Amino acid sequence: MNLPSATPSAADTAVATAPAVTPLAAPLASGHASTPVESAADPTTDATPPTTPRHGLLHWVIVIAVFSITGSLAVRLSGLVLKDVLGLEGSFWGGGFLGGSWTYRLVYLLLIPPAYSTLLAIIGTLFGKGPYFRARVVKMWRRLLPAVLANRLFGAPD
């Protein structure tokens, strides 16, 4: 009968004292830096710093405010343009989904994206976040337009 000995062997102590490598600690154990500060301090690592800047709470409060103001204003102004400038009467949803004019709905849907993106760039600039919101506008139009037209308007994507 083989009983375990009371004193641990050298192999047992090596296993017991070796640090456990968890998935979160794996990049550190493999020599890759987990933060830009570590990669700057250690030139032998191949980690690259993140490409997007980190923003504080005030930035995100401003972003939420700009998006909410822009959305509300775009809907309100589009309705006014349809009624006062183009002379189209109706409502997008009024009287049930089938209660409004299809011409009104179509022009409304075609008017909202350019009005929204223009207002987003203007209001974002007024709040001091012009470059951030201009980048959002370009990203939106790149998704809406065919690639050939988007590349002609905004240049080749980075």
Residue 8 has what DSSP assignment? -
131 located within any domain: yes
Q: Name the burial class of residue 1, with classes exposed (0-12), middle (13-18) and buried (19+) by CB atoms within 10 angstroms of its CB.
A: exposed
Does the pTM surpass 0.95? The reply is: no
Kindly state whether residues 89 and 117 are assigned to the same domain.
yes
Looking at residue 98, what is its pLDDT? Answer: 54
Kindly state whether residues 21 and 63 are assigned to the same domain.
no
Residue 3 φ/ψ, nearest 5 degrees:
-100, 145
Which residue ranges in the chain fall short of pLDDT 50?
21-22, 24-35, 38-39, 97
Kindly state whether residues 142 and 104 are assigned to the same domain.
yes
Looking at residue 125, what is its pLDDT? Answer: 95
Helix axes 102-126, 130-144, angle to 10 degrees: 150
Kindly state whether residues 37 and 80 are assigned to the same domain.
no
Looking at residue 127, what is its pLDDT? Answer: 95
52 located within any domain: no
Q: What's the CA gap between 11 and 79, in Å, rounded?
A: 78
132 located within any domain: yes
Kindly state whether residues 148 and 79 are assigned to the same domain.
yes
Kindly state whether residues 37 and 97 are assigned to the same domain.
no
Number of domains in the chain: 2
Q: What's the CA gap between 33 and 61, in Å, rounded?
A: 32
5 located within any domain: no
122 located within any domain: yes
Q: What's the CA gap between 140 and 70, in Å, rounded?
A: 14
112 located within any domain: yes
- Assign 31 to helix, strand or coil: coil
Kindly state whether residues 120 and 62 are assigned to the same domain.
yes
Q: What is the largest CA-CA distance in the chain?
A: 99
Range of the domain at 131: 57-154
Looking at residue 120, what is its pLDDT? Answer: 94
Buried b vs exposed e over 68-78: b needs ≥16 C-beta within 10 Å?
Answer: ebbeebbeebb
Answer for the pair 73, 119: CB distance below 8 angstroms, yes or no: yes
Looking at residue 116, what is its pLDDT? Answer: 93
Answer for the pair 82, 88: CB distance below 8 angstroms, yes or no: yes
Looking at residue 5, what is its pLDDT? Answer: 56
18 located within any domain: yes
Kindly state whether residues 68 and 103 are assigned to the same domain.
yes
Looking at residue 80, what is its pLDDT? Answer: 86
Kindly state whether residues 66 and 114 are assigned to the same domain.
yes
